Structure 1
Amino acid sequence: MPKSTLHRFELASMLACLALLWLGTAQAQAQPLDNAVQTETKINNDAAASQERINNLARQTQDLLSEYRAVVREVESLKIYNENLEQVVTDQRNEVESINNQLAGLEETNRGVVPLMLEMIDALGQIIEADIPFRIEERRARVERLSDMMDQAEVTASEKYRRVMEAYQGELEFGRTTEAYSDTLPTTGQTVDFLRVGRTLLVYQTSDQSATGWFNPSTRAFEELPSRYTLEVKKGISIAKNEKAPDLVVLPTPGPEVAE
């Protein structure tokens, strides 16, 4: 073998040895590096898992805190409600006690008021019978209804008193008003037009003006009037019905001694 060729072969062998030596060294160095990477990866995975557990615990803690605060608010609300309810119950108890006391006093009041109302109804009937007989049946019926009402248990004492006073008020109003109305003349049964002036005068007239009369408080009877009152009574009835403007009307009026 030539010397140059031998030299090249030795050089190639040396390079091959160096390559094998480097490869072995690289492999030897790569093994710890892989172990380090795996360890780092495991550490990172464990850290992520730990963080997830921490996050879950934090969320659970927050949920428990929210529930606790909600329970505290509910307890406070129930406490306020119970305090208010206790005040309401106390007030109701006082109200019941007051009502019971009033009812006890009302029974005593009724024992004094009921006889008074009976007397007032009886007196009202006497007033109507002694008065001029305008709307007589209507007013008598009112007194009869009041008498029947006093025997009705479903009507309270206050309502009975109110109706009795209402009847008296109505009678008082008659003394301040004037009206014209149609009704039956007791003496003949004929329908006539009546003219009432307060509680002082009651005159009547037929629709054809053929008969004109008045209730004479002295004799307590219906009597015919002279013909000179025919137009005056007709005029007065028209004014009371708002068919004519108010004007002076000459009508028969009982004297003071008769009115007494």
Structure 2
Amino acid sequence: MSRVSKKSLIASALAGAFALSAMSVSAEPLSDVQAESGRIHKEAAKSQQKIDSLYEQSQDLLAEYREVVDQTENLKVYNDHLQRLVNDQNAVLASLQKQIDGIEDTKQGVVPLMYRMIDTLEQFIQLDVPILIKDRKERVERLRELMGRSDVTTSEKYRQVLEAYQIENDYGNKIASYQGELELDGNNVTVDLFHLGRVVFVAQSLDQKSAWVWDNDARAWQELGDEYLNPITQAIRMARKQAAVDLIKLPVKAAEIAQ
């Protein structure tokens, strides 16, 4: 073989060796690139998952935020409503307190008034025709006792005082009869009593043989003549609904003519 042919073979061998060497060197970086690319894709997928998760969380938080905002608005409206109610209640309480204070002031005036009314009632009874005199005096005593009781309200005391006045007023409008006792000549005599309002107040013995009329000016009983016995008996029966109402003759004192 010529020297030229040997050189060509050596050159070809070297070229092949270099080519193989180059292919081996270039193959290693490509594998690394592919591996890195795969890793990047995996990391990107993980990142996307995190992004998706964060997005979902942000949407949930946004929904919760909107719900809280709605609730806050509702609470604000409700609180405003409650505040108006509280303000109205405070106004009512203030009005009630003012009324209570007024009641205390009124009580300071009413209590002395009631004592004066009881005194006046007692004086009136002493000067009036003595119809049911015992009951009326006892009523006044009960009122005086009532005024000293702490367990009875002022309003109830006032009501009972007014009631006593109403009872006194009714005596002037009633026709009634009842049994009682008269003190005559130092003796107590049981009699039937009859009154026509305050105009006539008469008494008759139970045997219907004697009769008397009350003279309020003299503050004493005056004996009547026999002509009044039957009319008074009839009057007593009418008052007790034992006889029909009819015209009767009764001793009525004539009014004096003013001079």
Fold similarity call, TM over 0.5: yes
- The interval holding the TM-score normalised by the smaller chain is 0.5 to 0.7
| Residue 123 (structure 2) aligns with | 126
Aligned residues: 186
2:91 to 94, 97, 110: 94
Check whether the contact 1:183–1:192 (CA below 8 A) recurs between aligned residues. Answer: yes
| Residue 206 (structure 1) aligns with | 205
Change (3 A) 1:109 1:233: same
Please state how far the C-alpha of 1:91 moved relative to its aligned partner: 4.2
The answer to which of 116-125 and 219-228 deviates more is 219-228
3-state SS of 1:190 partner: strand
| Residue 111 (structure 2) aligns with | 114
Confirm or deny that 1:162 pairs with 2:156.
no
AA in 2 matched with 1:184: E
| Residue 233 (structure 2) aligns with | 234
AA in 1 matched with 2:141: E
Change (3 A) 1:151 1:131: same
Deviation sequence 1:175-222 (CA, Å, 0-9, x none): 111101111223332221100111122111122212211212232112
The answer to which of 164-173 and 154-163 deviates more is 154-163
Matches of 1:79 and 1:242 in 2, distance apart?
76
Matches of 1:158 and 1:85 in 2, distance apart?
36
Matches of 2:224 and 2:108 in 1, distance apart?
51
Deviation sequence 1:81-139 (CA, Å, 0-9, x none): 97776665544433332221112111211111211111111001111110111100100
Matches of 2:117 and 2:111 in 1, distance apart?
10
Check whether the contact 1:125–1:140 (CA below 8 A) recurs between aligned residues. Answer: yes
Check whether the contact 1:192–1:206 (CA below 8 A) recurs between aligned residues. Answer: yes
Confirm or deny that 1:180 pairs with 2:155.
no
Matches of 2:231 and 2:99 in 1, distance apart?
59
Matches of 1:85 and 1:185 in 2, distance apart?
74
Matches within 5 A, 1:1-260: 89-187=86-184, 188-257=187-256
- Alignment gaps of 5+ in structure 2: 1-69
AA in 2 matched with 1:241: R
Please state how far the C-alpha of 1:158 moved relative to its aligned partner: 1.9
Change (3 A) 1:79 1:210: farther
AA in 2 matched with 1:111: Q
Matches of 1:241 and 1:203 in 2, distance apart?
15
AA in 2 matched with 1:131: D
Matches of 1:128 and 1:85 in 2, distance apart?
60
Check whether the contact 1:217–1:254 (CA below 8 A) recurs between aligned residues. Answer: no
Alignment TM-score, normalising by the size of structure 2 = 0.64
Please state how far the C-alpha of 1:238 moved relative to its aligned partner: 0.6
The answer to which of 96-105 and 184-193 deviates more is 184-193
| Residue 67 (structure 1) aligns with | none
Change (3 A) 1:89 1:222: same
The answer to which of 226-235 and 150-159 deviates more is 150-159
3-state SS of 1:186 partner: strand
Alignment TM-score, normalising by the size of structure 1 = 0.63
Deviation sequence 1:155-179 (CA, Å, 0-9, x none): 2222222211111111111111110
Change (3 A) 1:83 1:218: same
Matches of 2:112 and 2:254 in 1, distance apart?
37
RMSD over equivalenced CA pairs, Å? 2.7
Matches of 1:99 and 1:204 in 2, distance apart?
56
Please state how far the C-alpha of 1:249 moved relative to its aligned partner: 0.9
| Residue 44 (structure 1) aligns with | none
Structure 1 moving runs of 4+ over 4 Å: 78-91
The answer to which of 125-134 and 221-230 deviates more is 221-230
